[in-house]
Amino acid sequence: MIITFSAVISGWTLILLCSNTTFNFEIKEIIYKMYLNQKNFIFNVKDLSILLVKDANERFSDNNQDSFQFNNMKDDSKK
């Protein structure tokens, strides 16, 4: 369904751009905005991924540090 809709819209847009209608400028402007939104979406996903990795590294580091401190306390109590 979505693929069919996308194909129809793309074909229709291509036909209108090739036929030089009075809405050519507006169509090109909207296509450009769509491209920018897609580009921004990709950059935002990249930034989000970086933050998620940083958070995971911090949590992993904190968990290891807590575990290390707990093991040291156990070892100290045996002495």
Query: Residues 13-71: pLDDT tens digits?
Result: 888 889 988 889 999 999 999 999 998 999 999 999 999 999 988 888 877 766 656 56
Are 28 and 17 a contacting pair, CB within 8 Å? yes
Q: Which residues contact 9 (CB under 8 A, 6 or more apart)?
A: none
The whole-model pTM stands at 0.55
Q: At what angle do helices 24-78 and 2-18 cross, to 10 degrees?
A: 140
- Give the closest residue to 9 by CA, choosing from 27, 35, 29, 23: 27
Angle (nearest 5°) at CA 66 between 60 and 61: 20
**pLDDT at residue 76 greater than cutoff 70:** no
